Chain A
Amino acid sequence: DAGVIQSPRHEVTEMGQEVTLRCKPISGHDYLFWYRQTMMRGLELLIYFNNNVPIDDSGMPEDRFSAKMPNASFSTLKIQPSEPRDSAVYFCASSLGTPGRRGYTFGSGTRLTVV
């Protein structure tokens, strides 16, 4: 298995632009998580899905953030409009069950820089 695949690896955008981050979970996994990591706040859970349905989005910072999972093999995290404080590394993770017999498998992350 190729693991959890995230794209792009790096994204630099200007303030006010729309940003879309993509994630392909491991086939067969029924949970998908979006985390954000900054030096100040560490790893924060933004939202997670079970069988493509959003379960808990209490970590989404504000209405500028939205996430979708149209099918079992794809999820997006969108920021519109983006702001410099959104600069962070965004990780997607998937698991079979939660917290899962083998834990979460994380992708390599997308490093977002908003200038």
Chain B
Amino acid sequence: DAKTTQPTSMDCAEGRAANLPCNHSTISGNEYVYWYRQIHSQGPQYIIHGLKNNETNEMASLIITEDRKSSTLILPHATLRDTAVYYCIVSPVGSNYKLTFGKGTLLTVNP
């Protein structure tokens, strides 16, 4: 499986955009990039995923570089409730592929 590299921690001011980077230089052509987050004491929550095109939903935007070796999760207007650990995971899609969580990035949104 492809591995990911994320910064251990990041800070962001409330109301500003939070840009969380992820490096996945060994990603294969059939592997998607998934993002989850885990707010303290809660189960992980799915945010977004993509293959090679940029994606946007009600929670966030995902920007994947053209060579697919890195991506950025963007929270356009961070709030205090976005303080969480954010996990970037790469995985093929298909039968019996499982998600393996790394250590993620602790994003702290400051007032």
Which A residues have a C-beta under 8 Å from some C-beta of B? 4, 33, 35, 42-43, 45, 48, 50, 55-56, 91, 93, 97-99, 102-109
Residues of A with C-beta under 8 A to B44? 43, 91, 93, 104, 106
Q: How far does the Cβ of B30 sit from chain A's closest Cβ, in whole Å? A: 12
Q: Mark B31-55, 1 if CB is under 8 A from A, else 0.
A: 0101010000011111101000000
**Segment with Cβ contacts to A, from B3-11, B21-29, B88-96:** B88-96
Query: In the bound complex, how far is the Cα of B91 from the Cα of A33, in angstroms?
Result: 16
A98 touches B97 (CB 8 A): yes
Contact between B49 and A43, CB atoms less than 8 A apart: no
Q: How many residues of B contact A (CB 8 A)?
A: 21
Measured between beta carbons, the chain B residues less than 8 angstroms from A97 are 93
In the complex, B102 has a CB within 8 A of chain A: yes
By Cβ-Cβ distance, the 9 closest A-B pairs, closest first, are A103-B46, A106-B43, A43-B101, A99-B91, A106-B44, A91-B43, A99-B99, A109-B43, A55-B96
* Nearest A-chain residue to B42, judged by Cβ: A108
23 A–B contacts, CB within 8 A, in A order: A35-B101, A42-B101, A42-B103, A45-B98, A45-B99, A45-B100, A50-B95, A56-B98, A91-B44, A97-B93, A98-B95, A98-B97, A98-B98, A98-B99, A99-B49, A99-B93, A102-B46, A103-B34, A103-B46, A104-B46, A106-B44, A106-B45, A109-B42
| Inter-chain contacts of B32 with A (CB < 8 A) | 99
Contact partner of A105 (CB less than 8 A), chosen from B46, B47, B93, is B46
Residues of chain A contacted by B102 (CB below 8 angstroms): 42
Residue of chain B at shortest CB distance from A55: B96
Check if B99 sits within 8 Å of A104, measured CB to CB. yes
Given A99-B49, A99-B91, A99-B93, residue A48 in contact with residue B98 (CB < 8 A):
yes
Residue of chain B at shortest CB distance from A48? B98
| CB neighbours of A103 from chain B (8 A) | 34, 36, 46-47, 49
Q: Name B43's closest neighbour in chain A (CB-CB).
A: A106
In Å, the complex CA distance between A45 and B93 comes to 17
Known: A42-B101, A105-B46. 17 other contacts (CB 8 A): A42-B102, A43-B101, A45-B99, A50-B95, A91-B44, A97-B93, A98-B98, A98-B99, A99-B34, A99-B49, A99-B99, A103-B34, A103-B47, A106-B43, A106-B44, A106-B45, A108-B42
